[in-house]
Chains A and B, each alone.
Chain A
Amino acid sequence: RKEVEQDPGPFNVPEGATVAFNCTYSNSASQSFFWYRQDCRKEPKLLMSVYSSGNEDGRFTAQLNRASQYISLLIRDSKLSDSATYLCVVNEFNKFYFGSGTKLNVKP
């Protein structure tokens, strides 16, 4: 069983749409949670950390549900520049586990 599972998509949405991604993780002892963004053939970059209380950064909102072991990312008012693959990442002690990513295509 994979440590972190994500719907691969793609999610094809028009500009201005709201889109949500979910991710589940298998180890209840996981300690830290993140969303990274990866553009085609580039290195991943941190989008935001995810906290138990939920957190927001502009158009992006992340939520963590420890009881159900899932993490979500909500993107409001999608921009063309949001087109990318979004990676869910979970930290267990000294190791980071990545989901396979969810691809988002924002269309004009």
Chain B
Amino acid sequence: NAGVTQTPKFQVLKTGQSMTLQCAQDMNHEYMSWYRQDPGMGLRLIHYSVGAGITDQGEVPNGYNVSRSTTEDFPLRLLSAAPSQTSVYFCASSTGTGAYEQYFGPGTRLTVT
């Protein structure tokens, strides 16, 4: 099993550009989520999904869109990049919520200039 994979590993965008961060898992997990991590701060939940076709907002959803058309994939779209979106983005998956372990991808380091 590859676990949770994320692409790209690094990305530099100009203000106003859009892009999609890819996330895939091969563990047949129902729950998937996106976080951002800024220096000195914990991970903050952007969006999450409890199954294919179902998504919902987390703590910091503004400026981001998600969709979940398959169990395996959960892409994160930046609509119009802003310098405030410079961060490390982690995707995670788990069997469910509650007392289940979350497995994280290696992260995408995004810089918006």
Chain A interface size, as a band, is 20 to 34
Q: Helix, strand, loop or mixed for chain B's interface?
A: loop
Chain B residues close to A by CB (< 8 Å): 31, 33, 35, 40-45, 48, 50, 56, 58-59, 90, 97-99, 101-102, 104-107
Q: For residue A93, which residue of chain B has the nearest CB?
A: B97
Q: Give the distance to chain B from A90, nearest Cβ to Cβ, in Å.
A: 11
Check B98 against A8 for contact (C-beta < 8 Å): no
A8–B40 CA distance with the chains assembled, in angstroms: 8
User: Contacts A93-B97, A94-B50, A94-B56 known; A43 to B45 CB distance under 8 Å?
Assistant: no
Q: For residue B57, which residue of chain A has the nearest CB?
A: A95
8 CB-based A-B contacts, threshold 8 Å:
A4-B42, A32-B98, A44-B104, A93-B97, A94-B31, A94-B56, A99-B42, A101-B42
Check A98 against B42 for contact (C-beta < 8 Å): yes
Check B48 against A95 for contact (C-beta < 8 Å): yes
Check A44 against B43 for contact (C-beta < 8 Å): yes
Q: Helix, strand, loop or mixed for chain A's interface?
A: strand
Q: In chain A, residues 17-54, which have Cβ atoms closer than 8 Å to a Cβ of chain B? A: 31-32, 34, 42-46, 49
A61 at the interface (CB under 8 A from B): no
Residue of B40, B56, B59, B102 with most chain A CB atoms under a 10 A cut-off: B102
A32–B97 CA distance with the chains assembled, in angstroms: 9
A34–B107 CA distance with the chains assembled, in angstroms: 20
A45–B101 CA distance with the chains assembled, in angstroms: 9
Residue of A8, A43, A45 with most chain B CB atoms under a 10 A cut-off: A43
Mask, A68-87, CB within 8 Å of B = 1, is: 00000000000000000001
Check A100 against B97 for contact (C-beta < 8 Å): no
A4–B59 CA distance with the chains assembled, in angstroms: 13
User: Contacts A44-B90, A46-B101, A93-B97 known; A100 to B48 CB distance under 8 Å?
Assistant: no
